Amino acid sequence: MTYKHRIDGRGFDETRPIEAKVGVIKRADGSAMFKIGNTWAYAAVYGPRNLHPKFLQDPQRGILRCNYNMMPFSSSGERVRPGGSRRSKEISLVTQKALLPVLNLEEYPNSVVDVFIELPQTEAGSRCAGICAASMALADAGLEMKDLVCAVSVGKVADKLLVDLDYSEESYPDVSVADIPIAMMPNSGKITLLQMDGEVKKEELMKVLAMGKKALLDIYEIQKKALKEKYHGVEE
Amino acid sequence: MMYRELRNHIIGLLNADTRLDGRKLTEYRKPVEIEYGIIKTAEGSARVKMGETEVMVGVKLEVGEPYPDTPEEGTIIVGAELLPMSNPDFELGPPGIQAIELARVVDRGIRESKALDFKKLCIEKGKNIWMVVIDICPINDAGNLFDASSLAALAALKDTKYPEFNGEKVDYKKKTDKKLELEKTPIAVTVIKIGGKFIVDPDTEEEKAVDARLTVSSIEDGTLCAMQKGGDEPLTMEDIDKMLDIGIEKAKELRKYL
The tens digit of pLDDT for each residue in A129-175 reads 999 999 999 999 999 999 999 999 999 999 999 999 999 998 888 88
pLDDT reported for residue B1? 46
Phi (first) and psi of residue B174, to 5 degrees: -110, 105
Give the DSSP letter string of B86-148.
S-TT--SSS--HHHHHHHHHHHHHHHHTT-S-GGGGEEETTTEEEEEEEEEEEEE-SS-HHHH
- Mean pLDDT over each residue of chain B, to the nearest integer: 96
- B62 CB neighbours in chain A (<8 A) are 78-79
What are the residue ranges in chain B where pLDDT is below 70? 1-2
Report CB contact under 8 Å: B38, A67.
no
Q: Does B144 touch chain A (CB under 8 A)?
A: no
- A72 CB neighbours in chain B (<8 A) are 58, 60, 79, 81, 133, 135, 137
- B173 CB neighbours in chain A (<8 A) are 76
Residue A99: band (very low, low, confident or very high) from pLDDT cuts 50, 70, 90: very high
Q: List, in sequence order, every beta strand (DSSP E) within A122-210.
A: 150-157, 160-163, 177-185, 190-194
CA-closest candidate to residue A162, choices A204, A198, A122, A123: A204
pLDDT reported for residue B53? 98
Q: So what's the ipTM on this one?
A: 0.90
Read off the pTM.
Answer: 0.93
- Mutation site, B60, B62, B85, interface A, largest A CB count within 10 A: B85
Q: Does B59 touch chain A (CB under 8 A)?
A: yes
Rounded-to-integer distance, Cα B200 and Cα B191, Å: 5
Report CB contact under 8 Å: A73, B142.
no
The tens digit of pLDDT for each residue in A17-55 reads 999 999 999 999 999 999 999 999 999 999 999 998 889
Q: Name the strand (E) or helix (H) holding B239.
A: helix B237-255
Report CB contact under 8 Å: A26, B62.
no
Burial (CB < 10 A; 0-12, 13-18, 19+), residue B16, is exposed
CA-closest candidate to residue B10, choices B208, B233, B163: B208
The shortest C-alpha distance from B60 to chain A (Å) reads 6
In B, residues 22-41, which contact A (CB 8 Å cutoff)?
A: 38-41
A and B: number of Cβ contacts within 8 A:
97
The tens digit of pLDDT for each residue in A215-225 reads 999 999 999 99
Handedness of CA A69, A147, A114, B89 (dihedral sign): negative
pLDDT reported for residue A73? 97
A79 closest CB neighbour out of B62, B92, B204: B62
B60 closest CB neighbour out of A31, A72, A83: A72
